Amino acid sequence: MESTLEGCILSDAASCSKLRPVSSKHFQAIDFVWHTGKLIRTNLITGFLGTGKTTAILDLLNYRPEGERWSVFVNEYGMVSIDELMFDEQTPEIQIQELAGGCFCCTTAGMMDTMLLQFIRRTKPDRLLIEPSGAGHPARVIDVLRSQRFRSILDLRATICLVDPKDFDNPRVTNSEVFQDQIQMSDVIAINWLDKRESGQILRCRQWIDQFDPPKLLVAETQFGKLKPEWLDLDGIVMRPPRFADAHAVHTHAVGEPHAAILMEPVIVPSTQSAMPGQPLRLENAGNGQRACGWIFSSAEVFDRATLFDFLAAIPSVQRIKGIFHCSDDWWLVNRTGHDVSVSRTAYRRDSRVEVITDNEFLNWARLEAEMTAYLDSE
């Protein structure tokens, strides 16, 4: 296996078989694959865990001009792909690619260049939206996009950071070098969740953001993750050096319980990999003070929605839960950030899957798995 594949999970089974190291010659030659006469307008949509990045991108896709192709490249910290499945069925005009299993800035850094290039070549976008992991430092991603390899391909425009005002009152978050540099390196700040946060929180958060230098092109307040499409192309982009250039320490893979997948060697898990009834797949990773664990359950297993979702809402010390479950009344998407939980129906049907992210070193994955399987419908 090529060294560039280390520690990475691809959500696209086709990519697993086709991925190859790409030389700088191929990077330089990409503009010969198709010709539009224009560089690809590119934006980073950043933000800490649970700030609403995916929701914001979903909404932005509604503003895609007729006839344009938009591509979305998503990085997920956990090992089990969830974000890609939150997007509706892809079309020739809207294409999604997810790289899971760590952050662009470290664990999946060796994969990003190659996979992004192949995604661009396959989808030929007019606009490229990139969503780094909420745990990831933006410096490495911006450096790559401004590098010689991509300079003749991409037109890097405004970097937009979504911020949840409640994070400002959490010292664990505000003391995070990654969190501070997500704000520092962004051109536009969108303070989200206005409908759920106190006015005092919003004011304190905004006053803190106003202290960053260089000043932001725009600090806006919004709700439901709504970003105005004109923010993508604001003029006045400047170089914004990070406050903590070395903040993106390498994430390490954790050795878990006996039947978990122990990710000490390079791993590629296509999204088509299935679990057998009674034998869920479990994948773990950890680093920078965070732990993540994901499960894939057989589509034949049916959960009791009320009891399962009550349990997921009550798990202590959890930063993030995203999951899709086959329940007795339908298939459901559950999305938890801190104590805020939302659920909605989903068209996804291949399997049930969930990803949990926590900074609690004592959360027991085997016990959590046993609890979830206890809510399988016995009928």
For the segment(s) 281-373, the CATH number from 3.30.1220.10, 3.20.20.100, 3.60.15.10, 2.60.200.20 is 3.30.1220.10
User: Which residues make beta-bridge pairs with 358?
Assistant: 291, 318
Q: What pLDDT was estimated at residue 16?
A: 40
Q: Are 42 and 154 in contact (CB under 8 A)?
A: yes
The enclosing H or E element of 379 equals none
The structural domains of the chain, with segments of one domain joined by +, span 3-233, 281-373
pLDDT at 273 over 80: no
Q: What percent of the chain has pLDDT over 90?
A: 52
In tens, the pLDDT along 47-77 reads 988 899 999 999 999 999 999 999 999 987 7
In tens, the pLDDT along 99-129 reads 765 544 444 456 778 889 999 999 999 999 9
Q: What pLDDT was estimated at residue 10?
A: 41
pLDDT at 17 over 50: no
In tens, the pLDDT along 280-311 reads 999 988 876 788 899 999 999 999 999 999 99
Confidence class of residue 173 from pLDDT cuts 50, 70 and 90?
Answer: confident
Question: Looking at the chain, which runs of residues are DSSP E strands?
Answer: 9-10, 40-47, 70-76, 94-100, 127-131, 154-156, 160-163, 188-191, 218-221, 281-287, 290-297, 318-326, 331-337, 340-345, 352-358
Q: Of 271, 272, 159, 147, whose CA–CA distance to 214 is shortest?
A: 159
3-state secondary structure at position 201: helix
The arithmetic mean of pLDDT across residues 30-53, rounded, is 78
The arithmetic mean of pLDDT across residues 78-104, rounded, is 73
- pTM value is 0.78
Assign a CATH topology to domain 3-233: Rossmann fold (3.40.50)
The arithmetic mean of pLDDT across residues 179-193, rounded, is 95
